[in-house]
Amino acid sequence: MAQKSSLAAAFEAAFLYTGFFVTRILTLLHLDVPIRALLLKIQPAPSKTDDIPDINKVILKTLDENDGGIQAEKLWENGPCLIVVIRRPGCLLCREEASNVAKYKEQIQSQGVSLAAVVHERFGAKDFGEKHWSGLPLYFDEKKDMYKILGRGKFNWMGLDGLVSLNAYKALFRARSAGFEGNIKGEGRILGGLFIMSKDGTHYEFAEKEWGDHAPIQDVLEVCKSLGAKRKP
């Protein structure tokens, strides 16, 4: 009987561990992260320099391929601007983040803060903007300079730690439970973040550390509220 119990326990443990790793592999595939590159940390060189781009001079384009773009400082020329830097338009976690920020747009705009989002690839961006960003301004950062700023001159790449992060899997479950869906198209390793900018500089900056690591919305709203208070006589 003892031997049978030991065999049953061993079988159960093997089953659980197999499920554990299979779940992670399937999740990686869903989030479109090249497994070999992630495991071996094979990451393309982001740039030839570690210099941090000037956020005011970052060129942002519309989704129109013929658009020449504007300098980012135009976004906060007439007042503060909240900019969500999206990791991948097709990612259900990014869609969740954008939707959660957009649902507070009236509250944010009432404080004199405008909203915009930035993507580093056009594929799926139009659908993302219409369905998850409430039709708010959406820009294409061709050189990925906003992403380099978040990484202090380099991209914040999702590393091996993301493979075993419980928080990332909790976030995935949360987004799926809320009804968000995604696809497996595009570059999913470059992490995003969020800025709140004005002519006075950076009022808030959040750089993601893993999948589903979004700027705390209450912190964001508090910063917007404080900026709104400064505008009132």
In the chain, where are the structural domains located? 31-231
Helix 125-132 with 92-102: angle, nearest 10 deg: 40
Which element (helix H / strand E) includes 27? Answer: helix 2-30
Q: Which amino acid, residue 188?
A: G
Which element (helix H / strand E) includes 207? Answer: strand 201-207
The first and second tokens of residue 90, run together, are 């097709």
Instruction: Supply the DSSP symbol for 110.
Output: T
Tell me which fold the domain 31-231 belongs to. Glutaredoxin (3.40.30)
Q: How far apart are CA 185 and CA 75, in angstroms?
A: 29
The first and second tokens of residue 162, run together, are 């993301």
Q: How far apart are CA 197 and CA 155, in angstroms?
A: 20
* Digitized pLDDT (tens) for each residue of the chain, 233 residues in all: 545 445 544 444 444 444 445 455 544 444 444 444 444 444 444 444 458 999 999 999 999 988 999 999 999 999 999 999 999 999 999 999 999 999 999 999 999 999 999 999 999 999 999 999 999 999 999 999 999 999 999 999 886 666 667 888 888 889 999 999 998 888 888 999 999 999 999 999 999 998 889 999 999 999 999 999 988 66
Q: What is the three-class DSSP state of 119?
A: strand
Q: Which among 81, 91, 94, 224 is annotated as catalytic?
A: 94
81 is catalytic: no
Q: What is the three-class DSSP state of 196?
A: strand
DSSP secondary structure string for all residues of 212-230: T-PPPHHHHHHHHHHHHHH
Model pTM?
0.79
Contacts 24+ apart (CB under 8 A), 154-157: 154/46, 154/47, 154/50, 155/43, 155/46, 155/190, 155/191, 156/190, 156/191, 156/193, 156/207, 156/208, 156/209, 157/41, 157/43, 157/189, 157/190, 157/191
> Are 124 and 89 a contacting pair, CB within 8 Å?
yes
